[in-house]
A and B are shown apart, each in its own frame.
Chain A
Amino acid sequence: MERLNGPDGATLLNIYGKVSLIKQCDERLIRLIRSGRLAAPYYSPRGQEVIPAAISVLLNDDDYVVTIYRGLHDHLAKGVPLKGLLAEYFGRAAGHCKGKGGPMHITHPASGVVMTTGIVGSGIPIANGLGWASQLRGDGRIAVTNFGDGASNIGAFHEGLNLAAVWKLPVIFVCQNNQWAEHTSLAGGTSVTDIANRGAAYDMPSILVDGNDARAMWGAAREAVERARNGGGPTLIEAKTFRFNGHNLGDPAHYIPEEELAAWQLRDPHPALRALLIAEGHATEAEIAAIEESIAAEIEDAVAYAMEQPYPDESEGRLDIYDEEIAI
């Protein structure tokens, strides 16, 4: 029945839990940075949280996720443990990357998050290699690589999609089209209105979906996941969404027209999903509030943990350059 009707109530509630975690974590990080307690580059994913939340409920723990510097939502949705994630934001020894990666390079292979890149588009070819390894081993693992609309203009996107199509790789290319590439609008830098149309250039099945609609997003993801899992090759998903904040924290985003922002705020995915859960009777207001409170407590706990952790010893900076330590 689920196949015909889309995600069931439990799945939608699962998606909401991830959405709420992302939204609350984003708000908490912004407060920490604005109050001067956290010094880190931060690229808010606020507004885009439904996309990875809906995809990740269809993924296995060992499926791969590759993402970019605007990646908090992708990390949390895939299950990167919060304490180590925040400790990494704070540059502490207990961070997942021992303080050597930071927010832009979160890695947690146990959750499948094997690469977070600070370079636009570069995760696309890397996902192909992950997919190739799965294809050779026949282990059924698939790779999801996330990027923005701006990345669809860089060479790596085109080289990567072409190779994935030629090799029929189990890779899902998720373009989170948030309408703005840094400070440039979609129309200002991209020749197409719908990036999904670019899939046709590589004869790749492509899906255009409302990334703010959890049910639609889940349906698109399911089609792509099934295709990848069953040897049908790659899919390009363009999820239309909006970046509610500036490119990075500190960017007031004056370039975004007020009416455009206002129109998208009416389509904010978080309250929409919350209202849907109640309207359809999947959860009561009280049940949802309890979930949200429990997430808030988890975040406070993780923030406190992260801030208590020691910084890495200076000697840590000389490790992990090579497999073996090389004295130079």
Chain B
Amino acid sequence: MTTGTENRADERTVTCADAVQEALAEAMERDDSVIVLGEDVADLQGGGIRGCTQGLSTRFGDGRVRSTPISEQAIIGAAVGAAIAGMRPVAEIMLMNFITVAMDQIVNHAAKTRYMSGGQASVPLTIRTMTGAGAGTGGQHSDMLEAWLAHVPGLKIAVPSTAADYKALLTACIFDDNPCIFIENTLQLKSKGSLIANEKPLPLGKARIVRSGSDVTLISYGRPMIDAEKVAASLGDQGLSVELIDLRTIVPFDEETILNSVAKTGRAVVLHEAVKRFGVGAEIASRIHEELFADLKKPVLRLGMPYTPVPFSSALEKPILWNADKIEAAIRSLM
């Protein structure tokens, strides 16, 4: 996110929502087959509840940018059909909990059509969806459900943590020939970061080493990256060298970068917002144990939400989320 340093000449400061809008506009400009649908995405309906699609219907027409009824199955179904017909639809499911209503289309159709057709049909669609706890939106507007989707072969899943990645990863999803889920964070969409002009395209499946270190590897993605970065910097000042990895893509995840790092440090913490049990962290920890058991100085530690729905009251919500103290304590417990 914003570093506080001065921008380069080719650098601009934008919100993550702006970055999404830019990615969509540039993709639509570059390729006529990129089309957008979702609830309230056209300008007449406000260009998306976070403004992520603002201006697109005016610029590209209401044929290619369509507000839909509140019908998640119809939205994803239409995206699947259009993708099979050779378009690159970008469907917005306003909030991630609403994908539960469209899971049949995502799991049985988007994910499996290429395979079940023996490669005759492909589904190059992107589903943008927003979620995240910490804003008091309660049990049905906050869940991070990436582990559900990661369990379905055929889908790709990206979770950005910086404005630059909001743009780059979304662009990569749109032009990927597989169905991709792009998970935006409700709170983060309003926050700012820098974009560099003509940044080169980012492939899916490549993690980013945010900070090199030698004592312990901290792996995370999405909004918890902000605290992870603070902790890594502060521990660095205290002489504890943390290698911080932003996963960026959950499926496929960058095993090579993770394993190289942990082979070097011998210690790892995996941090995510989603419920810890049966989560992405379990898969990553397991892969590290399978490949690097002999090199590990301590078992891999996971940090995630306890096994509970997201509560409404901040008195209940705050304690179940990650924070800098918890991250630091986890890292120190491995030393």
User: Once bound together, how far apart are the Cα atoms of A213 and B79, in whole Å?
Assistant: 35
Whether the Cβ atoms of B118 and A126 lie closer than 8 Å is no
Whether the Cβ atoms of B77 and A125 lie closer than 8 Å is yes
User: Once bound together, how far apart are the Cα atoms of A130 and B123, in whole Å?
Assistant: 12
Whether the Cβ atoms of A114 and B71 lie closer than 8 Å is no
B127 within 8 Å of A (CB atoms): no
| CB contacts between A and B, total, < 8 Å | 150
Closest B residue to A320 by beta carbon equals: B119
Contact of A323 among B63, B79, B113, B122 (CB under 8 A): B122
CB distance from B9 to the nearest CB of A (A): 37
Per-residue CB contact flags for chain B residues 52-87 toward chain A (1 = under 8 Å, else 0) read: 000000000001101011011110111111111111
B104 within 8 Å of A (CB atoms): yes
Closest A residue to B124 by beta carbon equals: A323
Closest A residue to B125 by beta carbon equals: A129
CB distance from B250 to the nearest CB of A (A): 13
When distances are taken between beta carbons in the complex, the residues of chain A under 8 Å from B177 are 323
When distances are taken between beta carbons in the complex, the residues of chain B under 8 Å from A129 are 77-85, 87, 89
Closest B residue to A162 by beta carbon equals: B69
Closest B residue to A317 by beta carbon equals: B115
Q: List 21 A-B contacts (CB under 8 A).
A: A66-B81, A97-B116, A100-B117, A115-B84, A115-B109, A119-B104, A122-B105, A125-B78, A125-B80, A125-B105, A126-B80, A129-B80, A129-B83, A132-B82, A136-B35, A159-B73, A163-B69, A321-B114, A321-B115, A322-B154, A328-B252
Which of B73, B76, B156 has the largest number of chain A CB atoms within 10 A? B73
Q: Known: A115-B113, A117-B109, A162-B71. Is A122-B81 also a contact (CB below 8 A)? A: no
A56 within 8 Å of B (CB atoms): no
B153 within 8 Å of A (CB atoms): yes
A105 within 8 Å of B (CB atoms): yes
Per-residue CB contact flags for chain A residues 288-328 toward chain B (1 = under 8 Å, else 0) read: 00000000000000000000000000000001111100101
CB distance from B249 to the nearest CB of A (A): 11
Q: Known: A126-B77, A163-B71, A166-B69. Is A105-B82 also a contact (CB below 8 A)? A: no
Instruction: Please report B residues at the A interface, Cβ cutoff 8 Å.
Output: 35, 63-64, 66, 68-69, 71-74, 76-87, 89, 104-105, 108-109, 113-122, 153-154, 156, 176-178, 252
When distances are taken between beta carbons in the complex, the residues of chain A under 8 Å from B85 are 64, 114, 129-130, 133-134
Whether the Cβ atoms of B63 and A135 lie closer than 8 Å is yes
Whether the Cβ atoms of A167 and B119 lie closer than 8 Å is no
Q: Known: A117-B108, A320-B118. Is A130-B82 also a contact (CB below 8 A)? A: yes
Q: Known: A107-B121, A122-B104, A136-B63. Is A130-B116 also a contact (CB below 8 A)? A: no
User: Once bound together, how far apart are the Cα atoms of A115 and B80, in whole Å?
Assistant: 10
Interface SS, B side: mixed
Contact of B108 among A122, A136, A328 (CB under 8 A): A122
Whether the Cβ atoms of A126 and B81 lie closer than 8 Å is yes
User: Once bound together, how far apart are the Cα atoms of A241 and B120, in whole Å?
Assistant: 32
Whether the Cβ atoms of B74 and A114 lie closer than 8 Å is no
Contact of B118 among A66, A96, A162, A328 (CB under 8 A): A96
Top-10 shortest CB links A-B: A125-B77, A129-B81, A133-B85, A98-B118, A107-B117, A129-B82, A159-B74, A97-B118, A323-B177, A159-B71
When distances are taken between beta carbons in the complex, the residues of chain B under 8 Å from A156 are 73-74, 77, 104
Whether the Cβ atoms of B118 and A130 lie closer than 8 Å is no
CB distance from B261 to the nearest CB of A (A): 20
When distances are taken between beta carbons in the complex, the residues of chain A under 8 Å from B120 are 96-97, 107-109
Which residues from 152 to 173 on chain A have a C-beta closer than 8 Å to any C-beta of chain B?
155-156, 159-160, 162-163, 166-167
Per-residue CB contact flags for chain A residues 103-147 toward chain B (1 = under 8 Å, else 0) read: 001011100001101110010111111111111100000010000
Whether the Cβ atoms of B81 and A132 lie closer than 8 Å is yes
A95 within 8 Å of B (CB atoms): yes
Given contacts A126-B81, A126-B109, A133-B85, 17 further A-B contacts (CB under 8 A): A99-B118, A101-B117, A122-B104, A122-B108, A122-B109, A125-B73, A125-B78, A128-B78, A129-B77, A130-B82, A130-B85, A131-B81, A159-B77, A163-B71, A321-B153, A322-B154, A328-B252
When distances are taken between beta carbons in the complex, the residues of chain A under 8 Å from B89 are 129
User: Once bound together, how far apart are the Cα atoms of A118 and B105, in whole Å?
Assistant: 12
When distances are taken between beta carbons in the complex, the residues of chain A under 8 Å from B78 are 125-126, 128-129, 132, 163
Contact of B77 among A118, A128, A134 (CB under 8 A): A128
When distances are taken between beta carbons in the complex, the residues of chain A under 8 Å from B105 are 122, 125-126
Whether the Cβ atoms of B108 and A97 lie closer than 8 Å is no
Closest A residue to B61 by beta carbon equals: A136
Whether the Cβ atoms of B104 and A163 lie closer than 8 Å is no
